[in-house]
Amino acid sequence: MRYVARSGLSNKVSAALARKQARADAKSKAGTLNVNAEWKQARKTKPVRETLLVLKRMMGSFERCMYCHHSHATDIDHFWPKAPYPGHMFEWPNFLLCCTECGRYKGDLFPLENGLPSLVDPTLEDPWLHLDFIPETGNLTARFDPARNAFSRKGEATVSVLRLGEREALAREYVRSFSRLKRIVADFLEAPDSDANQLVQDLRQHDDHGLLGWCFGDRGERVPPFADLKAQRLDAWERCLAEDRNGWYA
């Protein structure tokens, strides 16, 4: 999982979504709104199809799910689920690109704390502020904050709802992706004249599961060969940190 910068929509599509939301709100107020039927009909329209294309472009050529960042994503997920929260049904900030498996697990599950979502929205925040990666198993867990002496509540809710610590196929692919990133850094360190800019390009190209934010964070920097990169090639380490601060895929 990684942060995903949200693109803008055209004025025409934004206006069309606003009209659809206004109609849904009016039906909801009148007690005549059938959420599933309303969405099924809208899903066939050009403005909603165009929003799906924008979401896919946001995820690059592989069009991966914004939640697990593994499976090919095929449809729109409502971050605030549309059935219990129809007032968000056609709001662009509420649209995420989702795979079938994550969509099935999430469904209408949407824990709140003080009225705010307990799930990580990868288009609003860096997931690695709330999640941790276990290199040995490939599982994602909630991040522990020593200052609070507690696990991130958002991390716990996200891992629980999406079952990020239970999906064996997902964990295997995370391990493979992490191994590729380690190999790139190790090969870089073996070549004294290696170029830091090329390292950044290679890492970005092979980060299939959005792990670079973890690798160059306070967890990953302790793990070889990322710790070795920091110790032996501070110039390259700082170049990668600059990329991390700007967002590897921004």
The whole-number pLDDT of residue 245 equals 82
- Cα–Cα separations (whole angstroms), residue 98 to 144, 147, 165: 27, 33, 18
Specify which residues 140 forms β-bridges with: 133
Q: Which of 34, 27, 42 is nearest to 91 (CA)?
A: 42
Long-range contacts of 144-148, Cβ-Cβ distance < 8 Å, separation of 24 or more: none
The rounded radius of gyration (Å) of the Cα atoms in the chain is 20
What are the DSSP calls for 144-180, one per residue? EETTTTEE-HHHHHHHHHHTTTT-HHHHHHHHHHHHH
Q: Which of 205, 184, 196, 209 is nearest to 240 (CA)?
A: 196
Please classify residue 220 by burial: count the beta carbons closer than 10 Å to its beta carbon, then call 0-12 exposed, 13-18 middle and 19+ buried: buried
- Does residue 4 belong to any structural domain of this protein? no
- Does residue 192 belong to any structural domain of this protein? yes
Q: pLDDT tens track of the chain, all 250 residues?
A: 899 999 999 999 999 999 999 999 999 999 999 999 999 999 999 999 999 999 999 998 889 999 999 999 999 999 999 999 999 999 999 999 999 999 999 999 999 999 999 999 999 999 999 999 999 999 999 999 888 899 999 999 999 999 999 999 999 999 999 999 999 999 999 998 999 999 999 999 999 999 999 999 999 999 999 999 999 999 999 999 999 887 777 6
The whole-number pLDDT of residue 106 equals 97
User: Which DSSP category does 216 fall into?
Assistant: T
State pTM to two decimals: 0.93
Do 97 and 173 belong together in one domain? no
Separation CA 70–CA 87 (nearest Å): 30
Q: Which of 72, 104, 136 is the last residue of a domain?
A: 104
Q: Which of 104, 124, 144 is the last residue of a domain?
A: 104
- Does residue 128 belong to any structural domain of this protein? no
Q: Which of 87, 104, 121 is the last residue of a domain?
A: 104
Residues 219 and 133 sit within 8 Å (Cβ to Cβ): yes
The whole-number pLDDT of residue 192 equals 84
Range of the domain at 198: 168-246
User: Which DSSP category does 131 fall into?
Assistant: E
Q: HSE (CB half, 13 Å, CA atoms) of 71?
A: 17
Q: Which of 67, 51, 50, 66 is nearest to 159 (CA)?
A: 67
